[in-house]
């Protein structure tokens, strides 16, 4: 156990010493890895922000049934019974016009505007959820609801909500593809630096073999090198993304003021950051593993 710990400690120290030996080259490699990782990480953060903003919007299969502006409380009661009687509706909820106005002014920051209005322009409304989400049912429901008395308009939010969802899904897929491509790039970058390392440390490897070093002993510092390089590259990517968010924030604030919105960009969360670091180290380790195996067996065959 002690021996094992010592070997690992030594391998880590050797790795750091190797990095310090050629600081400029190490920095270039680390930045290349950082930039490569920052692309998917940055896109992920943007998409995550977009998803969160989209999350404040109505759920996708709800429909809004607006009543006529002149509808009386009697009409409301009547309509309530009629809606309750419809078998295809899973849920319904009444939004009185006053509540709607309050929500609107709170949500969009338009309290000044609402206060200046001579009269509430919003009608009473019902938010209903269809039992089934397929296009045919929804279309039939819209027709049925529109034919009810005291109903002015039925608005199905589901279409554009579905479109937004599809767009977000497309974005997610793009990130996945980008992450895979750049992950492979990371493996390749690491593999190449490790290959050069092994070539420069050829003498040390040869001597170590002759005096009884196991393959593991020889491999270990290189694996650490790959993992540490990946980890630091991941940290640089994290820095780039966070810096990007910090730089964008003033612009978002300006937009918030202009549009009276409350959008705020957030950086990578703790879990996401840890996942980024873990993946970066893992890919670095993998690149090193592949490269060490190939390069060492080639060295052995030539000498």
Q: Interface with another protein includes 6 (CB under 8 A)?
A: yes
**Least separation in angstroms between CB 286 and another protein:** 23
CB 242 within 8 A of CB 229: no
Determine the interface stretch with another protein among 2-10, 62-70, 83-91, 238-246 (rule: CB under 8 A): 2-10
Q: Which of 75, 157, 204, 272 binds another protein (CB under 8 A)?
A: 204
Determine the interface stretch with another protein among 40-48, 49-57, 128-136, 210-218 (rule: CB under 8 A): 210-218
CB closer to another protein, 11 vs 67: 11
Q: Interface with another protein includes 290 (CB under 8 A)?
A: no
CB 285 within 8 A of CB 186: no
Q: Interface with another protein includes 294 (CB under 8 A)?
A: no
Is 19 exposed, middle or buried, given 0-12, 13-18 or 19+ CB atoms closer than 10 A? buried
Q: Which of 32, 213, 252, 299 binds another protein (CB under 8 A)?
A: 213
φ/ψ (deg, to 5) at 68: -65, 150
Q: Interface with another protein includes 301 (CB under 8 A)?
A: no
Q: Which of 88, 173, 206, 253 binds another protein (CB under 8 A)?
A: 206
Q: Interface with another protein includes 2 (CB under 8 A)?
A: yes
Distance CA 240, CA 243 (A): 5
CB closer to another protein, 15 vs 273: 15
Q: Interface with another protein includes 215 (CB under 8 A)?
A: yes
Q: Interface with another protein includes 207 (CB under 8 A)?
A: yes
Q: Which of 20, 24, 210, 258 binds another protein (CB under 8 A)?
A: 210
**Least separation in angstroms between CB 180 and another protein:** 35
CB 187 within 8 A of CB 280: no
**N-to-C CA span, the chain:** 34
Q: Which of 162, 208, 249, 256 binds another protein (CB under 8 A)?
A: 208
**Least separation in angstroms between CB 226 and another protein:** 21
Q: Interface with another protein includes 16 (CB under 8 A)?
A: no
User: Left (φ > 0), alpha (ψ -120 to 50) or beta: where does 150 sit?
Assistant: left
Q: Interface with another protein includes 209 (CB under 8 A)?
A: yes
CB 230 within 8 A of CB 285: yes
**Least separation in angstroms between CB 11 and another protein:** 10
Q: Interface with another protein includes 199 (CB under 8 A)?
A: no
**Least separation in angstroms between CB 220 and another protein:** 11
Q: Which of 92, 94, 109, 217 binds another protein (CB under 8 A)?
A: 217
**Residues whose CB falls within 8 Å of the CB of residue 286, separated by 6 or more in sequence, listed in order:** 187, 190, 226
Distance CA 128, CA 145 (A): 10
Chain residues binding another protein by CB under 8 A are 2-3, 6-7, 10, 203-204, 206-215, 217
């Amino acid at each position: 156990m002690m021996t094992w710990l010592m070997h690992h400690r030594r391998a880590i120290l050797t790795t750091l010493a190797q990095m310090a030996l050629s600081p400029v080259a190490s920095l270039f490699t680390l930045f290349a890895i950082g930039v490569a990782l920052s692309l998917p990480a940055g896109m992920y953060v943007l998409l995550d922000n977009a998803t969160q903003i989209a999350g404040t919007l109505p759920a996708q299969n709800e429909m809004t049934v607006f009543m006529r502006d002149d509808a009386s409380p009697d009409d409301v009661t009547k309509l309530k019974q009629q809606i309750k009687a419809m078998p295809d509706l899973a849920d319904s909820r009444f939004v009185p016009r006053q509540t709607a106005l309050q929500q609107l002014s709170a949500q969009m920051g338009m309290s000044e505007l609402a206060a200046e209005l001579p009269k509430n322009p919003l009608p009473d409304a019902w938010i209903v959820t269809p039992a089934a989400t397929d296009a045919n049912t929804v279309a039939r429901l819209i027709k049925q609801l529109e034919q009810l008395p005291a109903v002015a308009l039925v608005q199905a939010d589901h279409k554009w909500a579905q479109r937004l969802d599809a767009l977000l899904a497309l974005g997610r897929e793009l990130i996945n593809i980008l992450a895979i491509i750049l992950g492979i790039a990371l493996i390749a970058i690491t593999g190449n630096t490790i290959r050069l390392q092994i070539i420069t440390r050829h003498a040390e490897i040869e001597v170590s073999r002759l005096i009884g070093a196991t393959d593991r002993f020889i491999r270990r510092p290189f694996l650490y090198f790959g993992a540490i390089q990946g980890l630091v590259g991941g940290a640089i990517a994290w820095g780039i993304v966070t810096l990007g968010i910090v730089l964008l924030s003033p612009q978002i604030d300006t937009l918030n003021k202009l549009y009276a919105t409350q959008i705020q960009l957030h950086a990578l969360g703790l879990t996401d950051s840890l996942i980024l670091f873990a993946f970066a180290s893992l890919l670095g380790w993998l690149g090193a593993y592949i490269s060490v195996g190939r390069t060492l067996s080639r060295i052995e065959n030539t000498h």
